[in-house]
Chains A and B, each alone.
Chain A
């Protein structure tokens, strides 16, 4: 996993790339903790995420809740297809509250 941070005014951009799975768990957690500590407005770009598993989504969810609890803004943007697929499977779009273009939901049993 790679994480690239960009600061645009008050907005901090965290571009995540590669695999957000259990193997990258520790790195991802560190990146999220650092990013949230450093800003009040965080945008996480998921365009380059090739793989995400339950461990990854769990960390993102925890970060989102952390942000809400501390009155900060956190957005997920540019979901890659892997990220979309899992968000869709877990139906977490409303939880993150980000605008998403979902593929057809659970299309005719072919969700495998």
Chain B
């Protein structure tokens, strides 16, 4: 048995997770627009597919539970159940429960008792919904599979027999190997109609000696009596849609249509004709006449046109079928567009590219030393290529942030229900890309921020009305690129931060001096909420307000070499802005030397370089840049470096997080691609250093962590206080003086 179940199971988990995500998206869409048939179908399809695949693996708990949800969805699709908020809410909970069941299977653990009870109560509610509509007995869980409950409402026409459809099926060779048996599909057909005639096509079966028992070579021609629509028949073959050729001729199709069917099917045309005759779809004479006619006819219009022209099918049926085809095509092309790659392989590739960059720099250095101009030229074109490869490799790891943002639709929905506030989530810049490892670690801080904004930021509806704001509040998640960083913003149009309450709390907690409060600029006040154990919520809700949110957020962001800042306007709302590096592995750096130590700053932080000769008086810690006063940081003194000072000194003007400062260094050495290696544990407490990198010459250079360098420099200059205060109260936020 070559089928590797474990591997298949992993695929099932991955696929189901994707389906559940689709299901959630569709449910949320459905909640906004209850008439959205596409969304409803998407939900149904997801549930149906999960149920089916779970069945293949014998995961009975998932099958049984999903089945109940599916039955309710089926009623909704038939228009017998209106989808309101309650139903959507229930279905969302069901989706969560399915997810839970999946996880439990994956981790091979028993279901926790409360989870089981929750599942039972959900099942009960589903059954109740079902029971209300059906009025019939819904006791047996699988009873709904029986025709008496699923059978569509008979339309006018012979109720018992229904119309005769012709179904032509050719299964793909992989069907059996995928764990599906054609027999089960045909049995399933029997649940909503009657198989009048069936001919099993064995023509494709090879000789016994050549027959691979795991390959399927079966085909069927079926005359099927049912009142259902074409969609229902197609849905019966949902699981094998990509693995079988399915052709359905509607009742009353003319002989020509069967001829076309014969044309489209592979294999001997005469033999196919015989099959159809055997099946009772056409008579031999009809077939002969039609075949002769066809030989005379030239170009034929597309099948759809003919069908509509002949009034065989209504245009909408054709449209529906076309949409279906397009959908399948889109899905297939999507499959072709993506490949699954193990993250480890990507990491290994990027590591190697990093080494390549270092090695390239080494060769470049040698070329320069030897003054071999031909080699230098060759080297420069190679290093350009290496750069391209590096960029390409980094892009492989880039993912759009939209997927992370979309998760919050559900969070916002649930929380706004819980709080009784009407909140809309607006997402902009969803296509902004950033490193996968950054995205993964961004989820938790963002969750904190969004919940916080909804809980504390957005006022209760009455207050909003009193303030003349629209009743529906808005939370906006936005992302954009900015100079080698990605900026993620969480905006709300709520009440803004309460300066007085934050100050009162800070004084109570001893975070600041009671006398200092009046002088603190707003930005410094807002930063107070990032202090550990700080919470101003007068009542603790189960969402936030336990005072563990914001400092965790800040630490999480800082661990990603990012930063957080807050803007707030009383009564208008607040914005929390997160800045993150695009990637954690390679940067374009600017190489400098102080004494005999090489230092690197990220190139995108460097604004300009100014030569100052020997000209600054010792101890002066500011710099006049064309009339703008900038703080100055002498790296030699800051890192207490010994060694011969350079003949002249340079100031490198850096800008980060809206702050500018000058770094005094001995020598400028130019642009350099730095592959950042983390510092060892020994240096964990060293502030101002982000990592190390290796130069082409084999020497080590230290990568400066500019924001924390500026912070610590400020602290040594100004002395006390958790947050250094800028020069004056009117200074722009974040400008250090």
Contact = CB atoms under 8 A, between A and B. Distances in A.
Nearest to A69: B207
Nearest to B205: A62
Contacts of B190: 106, 109, 111-112
Nearest to A67: B208
Interface of B: 1, 145-147, 176-177, 181-183, 186-188, 190-191, 193-195, 197-200, 202, 205-209, 211, 213-214, 216-218, 220
Contacts of B146: 112
Contacts of A59: 208, 211, 213
A36 B208 contact: yes
Given A22-B176, A90-B200, A109-B194, A62 B216 contact: no
B195 A111 contact: yes
Interface in A78-112: 86, 89-92, 95, 106, 109, 111-112
B208 A66 contact: yes
Nearest to A21: B181
Contacts of A55: 176, 181, 213-214, 216
A112 B188 contact: yes
Contacts of A112: 145-147, 187-188, 190-191
A77 interface: no
Contact of B183 (A25, A29, A65, A89): A89
Given A53-B181, A62-B207, A111-B187, A91 B199 contact: yes
Nearest to B2: A26
Interface string A29-68: 1001100100000000000000001110011011101100
A9 B683 CA distance: 90
Q: Describe A's contact surface by its main secondary structure.
A: helix
Given A91-B198, A112-B187, 16 more contacts: A22-B214, A28-B213, A55-B176, A55-B181, A58-B218, A61-B205, A62-B202, A62-B208, A65-B205, A86-B183, A89-B187, A90-B198, A90-B220, A109-B191, A111-B190, A112-B146
B147 A109 contact: yes
B183 A90 contact: yes
A2 to B, nearest CB: 17
B368 to A, nearest CB: 67
A96 to B, nearest CB: 11
Contacts of B213: 22, 25-26, 28-29, 55, 58-59
A33 B210 CA distance: 11
Contact of B216 (A28, A54, A65, A86): A54
Contacts of A90: 183, 186, 198, 200, 220
B205 A92 contact: no
A33 B209 contact: yes
Residue of A58, A61, A63, A106 contacting most chain B CB atoms (<10 Å): A58
A59 B197 CA distance: 23
Contact of B202 (A32, A53, A61): A61
B183 A53 contact: yes
Contacts of B177: 22
10 contacts: A22-B1, A55-B213, A58-B205, A58-B211, A58-B218, A63-B208, A89-B198, A109-B193, A111-B195, A112-B191
Given A89-B187, A90-B200, A106-B194, A58 B208 contact: no
Nearest to A108: B194
A69 to B, nearest CB: 8
Nearest to B206: A62
